[in-house]
Amino acid sequence: MSQHQVTTMLTCTRSLIWGGLLALLLHIASPTTASPVTPNINLPIAIRDTARAPPSSPEPEPRDYTSSPIFTIPPTIQQDLSRLLSPQSLILLPSSPSFSSYTHRWSSNPLTNSPTYGVIVIPASEPDVSRTIRYANTHGIPFLATTGTHGIPFLATTGTHGTWHGLAQLQGGMAIWTRNLTKMKFAADGKSATLGGGLRGDDVVPALWARGKQTTTGSCRCVSLLGPALGGGHGWLQGQYGLGADQILSARVVLANGTAVRASNTENGDLFWALRGAGHNFGVVTEVEYRLYDAGVRPEWAYQSYTFTQDRLEDVYRVHDEVMRNQSQYVVYWSLWRLVPEVDAVNPILISTVYYNGPPSEAASYFAPFAALNPLNTTPVLTTDYPGLAAAAQFRLTDWACQPKAGATVYGMDVDSYDVPALRQSYNAFRDMMRTEPALSASVAYLEGYSLQAVQAVPYESTAFALRDRNLLYGFLTTYEEQGNKTLDAAAQKWGEKIRDAAYGNVRQKFAYVNYAKGSESQQAMYGYESWRQERLKQLKRKYDPKGRFSFYAPIKA
């Protein structure tokens, strides 16, 4: 098949389920340039069902409770919380007309990673978060007072992209929907901004760009700023500036007992350490002081994609491994596997993309090793700016990657290098999954080769993020469309584990980025193997969350 034929076939199938990702293969659109835009934070409109009264009585002290899942949402919760919270907050019950607008998740799999709620609280301020948590701690079993006290389990939810299996253990609990915490206040010196705990990448990136600024955010625009950053936070700019977590200068956190505190290098330093890598475990972060950088220094990105058939896998990953060893801080190497039946009906194809933060003339030497492999298809060299990378990689809100799925789980892992034989085994499992379970054939493998200079410049011991020395992040995404199908879900899990296990090869210690973990990983794999790290995390969990209130997402078992 000629390159022209392949290109034509791919173009014809663009509107099919491969939609956005095929555009990544082709890049036939004109170069993307993102114009500066002002923040546009579209929040669902909720219906207020109750009249507001000013807070009446002093807040109750949190009572003790056990970890038993037995709880009842008090029938008066809406009135109770309405009295306690600010008038701008919202409390929604399942009977509220807009309730379902707030329950959508990226993966809506009720068996694994989609919680259900008996109440949704939408705080408008940090005191609202505090009062909500105190209320949740104090109430929950109005009829069982003699057998102990049980609070209402709750989950802070922001970008709704977490796929940890364990999220679905929250059944009928409370969502603390943080998306109304949208503060953006820029420091006079332009070096930082105070950013609300409810912001998504899509809110932050264009707003900063409009001010000539940028910083490390998740590469996908649909995830929140803090969901990624509290677990590390990988993104395009990490090689230059460090991880998302490394940008946090201070954080305001509402702890498990409802107390609001500030954490920084000078205040609650132990909490500050834990927040940057294990942060989902310690509180609801209402805002952070976040580092910013001048965007005008290197405004341009050049990128090019290469498509290969599966028989080239060994060649492709030998090149990836080689270029990684001398990777510039301005380069990101990505590759993915995906079935494109019009190219090959049974074997997923491989697509590598090189993104370079600089002009095409400088990028040419980074493109050359892949172009020299004589790919099936090579796109033209395109250019964009930092906000435009989302379109370039098909990571905008409207793209396939960001669109909600009936069932989706990421099987993540971190490794040192491309183990080519292991990748062959992993690829074969990925291919076999699609042959045996066609319902899983929209699944994708992402092999993410971010640069690491600024990540590794941060002292290894200085934060809870324990994977700084890992060079590569893989995410195997298994996905299907039939919601609630237990057989299919079991197959997706079996294959997801198998594909990941194969890719680990013979590594001695398995690592998995906490935000790409799904629940079967060890605590060491996510938070580090050193006993001092584990001990410190356990001790901090006992100190800041002794009852394990923040335990539905990658919990530290103290």
- Assess 235 for contact with ligand FAD (CB under 6 A): yes
- Assess 492 for contact with ligand FAD (CB under 6 A): no
Q: Are 63 and 138 in contact (CB under 8 A)?
A: yes
Write out the H or E segment, with its range, that includes residue 449.
strand 444-449
Cβ nearer to ligand FAD, comparing 264 with 425: 264
Task: Tell which one of 215, 409, 515, 523 touches ligand FAD (CB under 6 A).
Answer: 515
Which residue from 290, 228, 237 is spatially nearest to 513, judged by alpha carbons?
228
Task: Tell which one of 223, 324, 392, 444 touches ligand FAD (CB under 6 A).
Answer: 223
CB of 401 to ligand FAD, least distance (A): 5
Cβ nearer to ligand FAD, comparing 235 with 496: 235
CA distance 165 to 305: 33
Cβ nearer to ligand FAD, comparing 96 with 158: 158
What DSSP string describes 377-424? EEPPPEEE-TTTHHHHTT-STTSTTTS-BSEEEEEEEEESS--HHHHH
Please tell me whether residue 547 adopts helix, strand or coil conformation.
coil
Q: Are 457 and 242 in contact (CB under 8 A)?
A: yes
Count of residues that bind ligand FAD according to CB under 6 A: 31
- Burial class from Cβ neighbours inside 10 Å (0-12, 13-18, 19+) for residue 5 reads exposed
C-beta neighbour count of 69 within 10 angstroms: 12
- Assess 219 for contact with ligand FAD (CB under 6 A): yes
Which range, of 205-213, 227-235, 327-335, 452-460, touches ligand FAD by CB under 6 A?
A: 227-235
Contact positions with ligand FAD (CB under 6 A) in 152-181: 155-163, 178
Through-space distance between the first and last CA atoms of the chain, rounded to whole angstroms: 58
Task: Tell which one of 206, 218, 258, 375 touches ligand FAD (CB under 6 A).
Answer: 218
Task: Tell which one of 118, 153, 206, 227 touches ligand FAD (CB under 6 A).
Answer: 227
Which range, of 280-288, 350-358, 419-427, 433-441, touches ligand FAD by CB under 6 A?
A: 280-288
CB of 144 to ligand FAD, least distance (A): 27
Q: CA angle, corner 537, sides to 447 and 166, nearest 5?
A: 60
- Residue 135 tokens read as 């209320």
- Assess 115 for contact with ligand FAD (CB under 6 A): no
Q: Are 357 and 450 in contact (CB under 8 A)?
A: no
Which residue from 478, 475, 467 is spatially nearest to 510, judged by alpha carbons?
467
- Assess 20 for contact with ligand FAD (CB under 6 A): no
Look at the alpha carbons of 449, 454, 457, 459 in this order and tell me if their dihedral is positive or negative. Answer: negative
Task: Tell which one of 216, 224, 307, 379 touches ligand FAD (CB under 6 A).
Answer: 224
Look at the alpha carbons of 33, 35, 40, 42 in this order and tell me if their dihedral is positive or negative. Answer: negative
Which range, of 29-37, 127-135, 229-237, 490-498, touches ligand FAD by CB under 6 A?
A: 229-237
- Residue closest to ligand FAD (Cβ): 227
Cβ nearer to ligand FAD, comparing 118 with 173: 173
Look at the alpha carbons of 288, 294, 295, 301 in this order and tell me if their dihedral is positive or negative. Answer: negative
Which residue from 238, 245, 243 is spatially nearest to 282, judged by alpha carbons?
245
What DSSP string describes 427-490? HHHHHHHHHH-GGGTT-EEEEEE---HHHHHS-GGGSS---TT--EEEEEEEEESSTT-HHHHH
Cβ nearer to ligand FAD, comparing 84 with 226: 226
Cβ nearer to ligand FAD, comparing 234 with 291: 234
CA distance 343 to 6: 7
x-or-dash pattern for ligand FAD, window 45-84, by CB under 6 A? ----------------------------------------
In this structure, which amino acid lies at residue 349? I
Cβ nearer to ligand FAD, comparing 32 with 178: 178
Cβ nearer to ligand FAD, comparing 190 with 546: 546
- Assess 92 for contact with ligand FAD (CB under 6 A): no
Q: Are 437 and 493 in contact (CB under 8 A)?
A: no
Which range, of 223-231, 261-269, 330-338, 358-366, touches ligand FAD by CB under 6 A?
A: 223-231
Contact positions with ligand FAD (CB under 6 A) in 370-409: 401-402
Which range, of 225-233, 313-321, 356-364, 497-505, touches ligand FAD by CB under 6 A?
A: 225-233
- Assess 109 for contact with ligand FAD (CB under 6 A): no
List Cα–Cα distances, 285 to 198, 263, 376, in angstroms.
9, 10, 47
- Assess 280 for contact with ligand FAD (CB under 6 A): yes
Contact positions with ligand FAD (CB under 6 A) in 189-208: 197
| Binding stretches for ligand FAD (CB under 6 A) | 106, 155-163, 178, 197, 218-220, 223-224, 226-228, 230, 233-235, 280, 284-285, 401-402, 515, 553
